[in-house]
Structure 1
Amino acid sequence: MDLNLIRVFVAVYESRSLTTAARRLYVTQPAVSQALGRLRRELDDALFRRAGRTMEPTPFADAVYPGFREAIAGIDRTLDAVHRFDPADSRRLFRIALSELGEIGWFPSILTTVRAEAPDVRLEVVTLDPASLPDWLARGTVDLAITTATMPAAFDRVLVKSQPYAAVMSTRNPLAGGTLDLDTYAQAAHVTVASDSGRPMLEAAQRRAGVVIQPQVAVSHFATLPPVLAADPGLVATLPDMIAAGWAQTWPISLTPLPFDMPPVELYLYRRATSQQTGALDWLFSTVARAVRGSTGQFFVIHGDSGATPR
């Protein structure tokens, strides 16, 4: 049996898509369809059936996938040892899933670090969707993801940041610069951000302290917060202190410790579980982890205009 047929099978099984499998294997979709037809004849099974836009595996495909994947992974590991991935010569496309804050804060450092070793690789940022992320990592839709969400144990991960939270407000807020007690915090006018992936941990810490926040203002994006806080001195936001410290360089914003215990929110780098290009993935995983760990974040790029009074 042609080994390339097994590669096609593994790619289609993991991606559930002929188009995605073709992109991963650097071939055309008709070539994938042709290879899949040959493999169906070889194994005397349909292997996949189309369900809408998804290729659903048959019970036979489910049964043979683990063995096929292990065989392909073993061959690739052996080839990687002989012909090591050379980032300097690579023109691969890598996809990284990042939140809004991840793209603003960490991607510049990721890009600089990757480009230093691999000037011709292509990087694509995919907007992070925590609900879809396990499926993306399983199918190889993205190569890496940076998130506070907990993924299944099937995906390798490393801790890249621990982010303490702080109360953030305008320097004109009467609470700025002082010690914030729990009652005052609870009674303040709060603004929240829908895209904050650390919100579940924050709300859990607030509940443990006996605090339930009903925000007066809710925004969709973090980038909206600095001008909102600067414009309304009565509002208080609770967010990672590293981000607020970056904003405070150009916005009239003050940070105050929280009046309750909240463990730092842990930020993890995950890698896809699919078998292709393991040498390239190993390099990308370690390079991105090094870039994020060594960066303080580029959050200051959301800066105040000439009308903002420096802190």
Structure 2
Amino acid sequence: MAVIMNDFDLNMVKTFCVLYEERGVTRAAEVLQLTQPTVSHTLKNLRRQFRDELFIRSGRYMEPTHTADMLYPRLKGGLTQIAEATVRSMPFAPQNAENAFTLWLSDIGELSFLPPIMRALSRQAPKVRLDVEPLEVSRVADALVRGDADAAILSPLISTDRLERTIVRQDEYVVIASADHPRVQCTLSTEQYARESHIRMTSEVGHDIPEILADRAGLKRRDVLRISRFAALPTVVHETEALAVVPRLAAEQMMESSNLQVLPFPLPIPAMEVSLYHLPPARQSEAQRWFSELVKRALSAR
């Protein structure tokens, strides 16, 4: 495709790529932190430069044309190479750095992993800031590749050659119950587990293996609560007779603030692997490489 590229700059390339990814002027403006008229004006210039509509309105979204589909991987690749060349050349001194790192975590991940990570950061890089964003498993790969996050910690396996995966922790699932439970004390048989009422986790961040195994074993349980976050779980379990299944590390953290007991899960269950995902080192900045290694060391030291 031969196109005369007069007055074409990197900002136009970035705007095109964000428009392609977000499929709308409003969302692109939010991502770019620009006004909608500015993005619309840039789109007008892009259409003139490429002599193509590039994006056509279809319902709530703007669908890319064939030309836009052809341009995106080339322009995005160019932006990525420029960004990588720039950040890799910047030295990083942890003690004086004022960088902000973004880590994606589930709420149970915050409970289990933030304390050791923050202890390590406060010792080694006291001026940096850590921004923790809610974990969205389906968006992890794109977020890391696009630079919306520096790292993510999760248990579901992400199969992609775009990221590097390091297992940072192995954990096991356990049952938590109120320490004052009238029927459950110290031990828990399969039959007793099936008879009790249950709290089921329904989020996309994983932790559904115990439920799947119980279903396969034909255990007919009665769910009294289905929730997607762990924050209220210790209090609810303590104040009711319901049982819940959580990773052991999280259970031990919960016991510090609530009167709970921890019991083995009554069915054979494989160990849970918690992994750190980030870009391959060759594509990371020096600061990102340092941060990834800090997280690995902080979590392996526990």
- Structures share fold, TM-score greater than 0.5: yes
Deviation at 1:166, TM superposition (A): 0.8
What are the superposed Cα offsets for residues 66-95 of structure 1, whole Å, 9 maximum, x if unpaired?
A: 222223333333334433455666655544
1:22 and 2:69 correspond? no
Look up the match of 1:77.
84
Deviation at 1:125, TM superposition (A): 2.9
Look up the match of 1:192.
200
Change (3 A) 1:59 1:277: farther
After superposition, where does 1:224-235 map in structure 2 within 5 Å? 224-232=232-240, 234-235=241-242
CA distance in 2, matches of 1:241, 1:206: 18
1:208 and 2:216 correspond? yes
CA distance in 1, matches of 2:172, 2:110: 19
- One-letter code aligned to 2:81: G
1:170 and 2:178 correspond? yes
CA distance in 1, matches of 2:127, 2:18: 25
Q: Verify the 8 A CA contact 1:160 1:289 in the aligned structure 2.
A: yes
TM norm structure 2: 0.75
Q: Verify the 8 A CA contact 2:88 2:285 in the aligned structure 1.
A: no
After superposition, where does 1:113-152 map in structure 2 within 5 Å? 113-114=120-121, 116-130=123-137, 136=143, 140-151=147-158
CA distance in 1, matches of 2:93, 2:212: 45
Q: Secondary structure at the match of 1:106?
A: helix
Q: Secondary structure at the match of 2:233?
A: helix
TM norm structure 1: 0.73
1:181 to 179, 189, 205: 189
CA distance in 2, matches of 1:52, 1:85: 46
**What do you get for the CA RMSD once the two structures are aligned?**
3.7
Change (3 A) 1:164 1:277: closer
1:103 and 2:129 correspond? no
- One-letter code aligned to 1:57: P
Deviation at 1:240, TM superposition (A): 1.1
Deviation at 1:63, TM superposition (A): 0.8
Look up the match of 2:266.
259
Deviation at 1:266, TM superposition (A): 2.7
Q: Secondary structure at the match of 1:223?
A: coil
Deviation at 1:47, TM superposition (A): 2.8
CA distance in 1, matches of 2:278, 2:246: 26
1:40 to 16, 40, 47: 47
Q: Secondary structure at the match of 1:197?
A: coil
1:59 and 2:69 correspond? no
Q: Verify the 8 A CA contact 1:87 1:117 in the aligned structure 2.
A: yes
Deviation at 1:260, TM superposition (A): 0.9
CA distance in 1, matches of 2:301, 2:239: 33
Question: In the comparison of the two structures, how many residue pairs are matched?
Answer: 289
Answer with 2-11 or 197-206: which moved more.
Answer: 2-11
Change (3 A) 1:76 1:235: closer
Deviation at 1:177, TM superposition (A): 1.7
CA distance in 1, matches of 2:65, 2:168: 39
Change (3 A) 1:33 1:116: farther
CA distance in 2, matches of 1:112, 1:15: 37
1:160 to 156, 168, 181: 168
Q: Verify the 8 A CA contact 1:20 1:141 in the aligned structure 2.
A: no
Q: Verify the 8 A CA contact 1:143 1:271 in the aligned structure 2.
A: yes
Q: Verify the 8 A CA contact 2:179 2:185 in the aligned structure 1.
A: yes
Change (3 A) 1:220 1:31: closer
CA distance in 2, matches of 1:182, 1:89: 55
Q: Secondary structure at the match of 1:167?
A: strand
Change (3 A) 1:19 1:204: same
